[in-house]
Structure formats: C-alpha cells, structure tokens
Amino acid sequence: MYVCSCFGITDRQVREHQEAGACTPRQIASLSKAGTDCGSCVRRIQGLLGRGGCAGRQPETAFEEPARAPVPSSASVAEAA
C-alpha cells in the first residue's frame, strides 16, 4: 500500500527503513523524501513506526539528528548592539 503518493513510497519501504534503524518520520524522510512534499502522509508514517517502534533501541548513528546551536536571548542581542 502506498503511504506517500507524492514520492511513491510504500508501507513496505517504511518498514525496511525502520528495520535499518529509522525511528522517526524525519528519519524516514531523510531516507526516502516521504512526508517532505505535501505532508499528508506524516501521520500514516507515525502510525507505521508506532506499531513496530524503536522502544528500547538506540537509533543508528547515521540517523541521529544533529545538535542545534542555542538561540541567543534578546538580552544578549541587545548587549551586542
């Protein structure tokens, strides 16, 4: 069954990515583009991931999201001016 009609991604492909370590819709998107166009499939992807889940399992290093830099507060921005 197609999960993402924009990119032709099936539930089987989502499960294959999950078995390889992808645990979130964002990780699935980085591998297949599913959910990156119209976004209507994101809930279906969440549902598929929720069934098999990655509970108790660490995601593969390649799928970890990068750390984000802290956002400066308005006070530090005002001091810089």
User: What pLDDT score was predicted for residue 62?
Assistant: 45
Give the integer Cα–Cα distance in Å for 43 and 20.
Answer: 20
Please tell me the pTM assigned to this model. 0.64
Tokens of 22: 């992808």
Residues ≥6 apart with Cβ < 8 Å to 70 = none
User: What pLDDT score was predicted for residue 38?
Assistant: 94
pLDDT digit string, tens, across residues 37-49:
999 999 999 999 9
User: What pLDDT score was predicted for residue 80?
Assistant: 55
User: What pLDDT score was predicted for residue 57?
Assistant: 55
Give the integer Cα–Cα distance in Å for 27 and 21.
Answer: 9
Give the integer Cα–Cα distance in Å for 15 and 75.
Answer: 46
User: What pLDDT score was predicted for residue 53?
Assistant: 58
**How many other CB atoms are found less than 10 A from the CB of residue 63?**
19
Q: Which residues of the chain, if any, have pLDDT below 70?
A: 51-81
